[in-house]
Structure 1
Amino acid sequence: MSTRNLTRQSLMLRNLAETMVQALAPLKAASGRLKYLSPFPRRFNGAYESYEKAMEAAGRTALAGYDNDEVTDVSFDQMCKIAPWDYPVLFWLNKLEAELDGLVDAGGHMGTKYRAFRNHLSPKPSFRWIVYDVAAVVRAGRARAQREDCPGLEFVDDISLADDVQLFLGSGLLQYLDKPLSQLISSMRTRPRHLLLNKVALRKGPEVVTLERIGPALVPYRMRNEAAFMRNVCQLGYKLVDRWSIPSLSHVVETHPELGASESAGFYFRLDS
């Protein structure tokens, strides 16, 4: 092959590569940080100092928050399947279920973990699985449960109604919760002896609230300061028993990559009494 043909092919390949880079995900510097110009919607967008400011920003461009009927069915079938990060929770539920008459599944959606776990547990016949969530999700969850065979599954949008349960399950709760965990648990009539918290988004620096796109809505997503989170739980009298990391659920805010990646972790705490 001649030198001229090699040069022509090299130019064609270089032009093709430049075209692909420009078409797929060009980056440009703007306002002192890199902003992605991908044609696909970003999963995480923005960085705010509080949940309230994130909600305000979300409401300017989309449905704001999880408490919307249009959001309740998003990813429901997928969430009813067991994921790799569920197994530590299943391990502790199996170890503890003999002493449990019920649990509150805070942020439990329409009973997704109930459906995912029920064939892997052997609870007492009178066991109560009480889902606490926002009003729109509770309405949808009750309607769906009436159409299916879901023994023991209950729904409340006021956590004080989830009384006399020995275990608090929060799987994917903390990143969407609009208050400190201690405040939510203090709203219960009695503190559960056991806390199982999974998929907790943490970082070493100050807390950051971003917006996650979930279907047609933008939902505040909290990446909590790890030390502050641990203090908040322990001040209620809970002692850490187990901790596990979930590297596959680490996230970077696309619009603010300089903040670094969050860490996802799970915890088992027991009331130190």
Structure 2
Amino acid sequence: MKNTAYPLLRSAVRSLNRSLTPLKAAGGRLRYLSPFPQRFTGAYSSFEDAIAAARSNGLAGYDHEEIAQVAFDKMCQVAPWDYPVLFWMRQVMGEIDGLVDAGGHMGTKYRAFRDLLSLEGSFRWVVYDLPAIVQAGRRRAEQDELDNLHFVDRIGDAGPVPLFLGSGLLQYLDIQLSDLLGRMPALPRHLLLNKVALREGGAIVTLERIGKAIVPYQMRDEEAIRRDVERLGYHLVDRWTIPSLAHVIETHPELGPSESAGFYFRLQ
């Protein structure tokens, strides 16, 4: 009896979800009319379409100094989802002398991790980000006298580094990761990705509200990410999930929740 009951129950749940999809969609579209701003709105097939929609609604994209300070103090704290990254960084610290922190904002991970890792001496932590964020980050690092923290707005200027860290990078990156890695002088041996937004059924781009700005936010296909980096010679060492960072697009709940995950790849 038990062997037949579970498949029947799963089938009934799937049928119920399908029947509720039009209601979910209608309810989601009504949120466009809400006087309260939603965190995620819209669903687009490309970054270009998403940024065009964002421009029609005000401050678009992340390249604005006005949003550099949004949640800065909170981002400088160690979060639960940082610990897999810290674990793998500790495993390789003996063989690396620096890293590039792609999408590293104003050096928030450096500030969060420096008391937990050996980052003093000649260790170079290079943040790659957009020009407005880099400018704000440099000023803040000078104020805080963080001599090991450097900033570039062209990733090739980071020089050859043994570790690439992308924590919360891929949802805001408007190119393939392999294209970004290809702009570096040499491929980093270690590749750590965290807080990667994933979804089944193909990638989509939504719009996220960050302070006063509206920013394209991509939920990617996991297999596409893996193929993209594996063709460069990387192989997957570890993968972890971050359930607390799953998101639903408020205006398009019928598309289902995203999954947040992290990856450690090593160059063969």
1:60-75 equivalences in 2 (<5 Å) = 60-75=56-71
| Superimposed CA distance per residue, residues 65-106 of structure 1 (whole angstroms, 9 cap, x where no aligned partner) | 000111111110000000000000011111111111100000
| Superimposed CA distance per residue, residues 206-229 of structure 1 (whole angstroms, 9 cap, x where no aligned partner) | 110000000000000000011111
**Is 2:117 the partner of 1:121?**
yes
**Is 2:125 the partner of 1:146?**
no
Match of 2:258 in 1: 262
Residues 31 and 191 of structure 1, relative CA distance in 2, 3 Å threshold: closer
Letter in structure 2 aligned against 1:253? I
- CA distance, structure 2, for counterparts of residue 182 and residue 44 of structure 1: 27
- CA distance, structure 1, for counterparts of residue 127 and residue 211 of structure 2: 22
Letter in structure 1 aligned against 2:110? Y
Match of 1:231 in 2: 227
Contact 1:97 1:123 in 2 (8 A): no
RMSD after superposition:
1.5
**Structure 2: unaligned runs, 5 residues or longer:** 1-21
- CA distance, structure 2, for counterparts of residue 197 and residue 31 of structure 1: 32
Helix, strand or coil for the counterpart of 1:34?
Answer: helix
**Is 2:53 the partner of 1:57?**
yes
Letter in structure 1 aligned against 2:111? R
Match of 1:240 in 2: 236
- CA distance, structure 1, for counterparts of residue 155 and residue 261 of structure 2: 24
**Structure 1: unaligned runs, 5 residues or longer:** 1-27
Instruction: Choose the corresponding residue for 1:178, options 174, 184, 191.
Output: 174
1:82-231 equivalences in 2 (<5 Å) = 82-123=78-119, 125-231=121-227
Match of 1:11 in 2: none
Q: CA deviation at 1:156?
A: 0.1
- CA distance, structure 1, for counterparts of residue 62 and residue 112 of structure 2: 21
| Superimposed CA distance per residue, residues 107-163 of structure 1 (whole angstroms, 9 cap, x where no aligned partner) | 000000000000000135101000000000000000111111213100000000111
Match of 2:40 in 1: 44
| Superimposed CA distance per residue, residues 183-239 of structure 1 (whole angstroms, 9 cap, x where no aligned partner) | 000000100000000000011211100000000000000000111111111111100
Instruction: Choose the corresponding residue for 1:252, options 229, 248, 252.
Output: 248
- CA distance, structure 1, for counterparts of residue 91 and residue 181 of structure 2: 23
Helix, strand or coil for the counterpart of 1:63?
Answer: coil
* Shift >4 Å, 4+ stretches: 28-33
- CA distance, structure 1, for counterparts of residue 91 and residue 265 of structure 2: 14
Contact 1:98 1:123 in 2 (8 A): no
- CA distance, structure 2, for counterparts of residue 214 and residue 53 of structure 1: 19
Letter in structure 1 aligned against 2:81? W
Percent identity of paired positions between Structure 1 and Structure 2: 63
Bigger fraction of residues in strand: 1
Helix, strand or coil for the counterpart of 1:170?
Answer: strand
- CA distance, structure 2, for counterparts of residue 73 and residue 265 of structure 1: 26
Match of 1:12 in 2: none
- CA distance, structure 2, for counterparts of residue 134 and residue 162 of structure 1: 14
**Is 2:61 the partner of 1:34?**
no
Q: CA deviation at 1:39?
A: 3.4
Contact 1:85 1:246 in 2 (8 A): yes
- CA distance, structure 2, for counterparts of residue 124 and residue 146 of structure 1: 16
Q: If you compute each CA radius of gyration, which structure gives the higher value, 1 or 2? A: 1
Contact 2:25 2:253 in 1 (8 A): no
Contact 1:101 1:124 in 2 (8 A): no
Residues 260 and 143 of structure 1, relative CA distance in 2, 3 Å threshold: same
- Taking CA–CA contacts closer than 8 Å with sequence separation of 6 or more, which of the two structures ends up with the larger relative contact order? 2
Match of 2:17 in 1: none
Letter in structure 2 aligned against 1:84? P
